Amino acid sequence: MDTIDYVALDLCPSYSVSITPQTHDVTSMLTTRKTFFGAMGCAVAIIFSVFGAAYGTAKSSGAIFHSGVLRPDRLMQNIICPIMAQILSIYGLVVAVIISGRLNKRGLALHNGFLFLAAGLSVGMCGLAAGFAIGVIGDSGVRASTQQPRLYVGMILILIFAEVLGLYGTIIGIMLVSNAVNDCQFGP
Which of the two residues, 97 and 16, has the higher pLDDT score? 97
Which of the two residues, 102 and 30, has the higher pLDDT score? 102
Which DSSP symbol is given to 20? Answer: S
Distance separating alpha carbons of residues 148 and 183, to the nearest angstrom: 59
Q: Please report the DSSP string for 130-151 in residue order.
A: HHHHHHHHHHHHHHHHHH-GGG
Distance separating alpha carbons of residues 165 and 127, to the nearest angstrom: 7
* pTM over 0.85, yes/no: no
pLDDT at 163: 96
Which of the two residues, 131 and 113, has the higher pLDDT score? 131
* Position 188 confidence tier, pLDDT thresholds 50, 70, 90: very low
Distance separating alpha carbons of residues 111 and 147, to the nearest angstrom: 54
Q: How far is CA 51 from CA 85, 124, 179, in A?
A: 10, 9, 27
**Domains of the chain, earliest start first:** 28-178 (1.20.120.610)
Residue 149, C-beta contacts closer than 8 angstroms, at least 6 positions apart = 74
> Residue 9 pLDDT more than 90?
no
Residue in 80, 48, 14 with CA at minimum distance from that of residue 173: 48
The three-state secondary structure class of 17 is strand
C-alpha torsion 73→75→79→81, nearest 10:
110
The percent of residues above 90 in pLDDT, for the chain, comes to 60
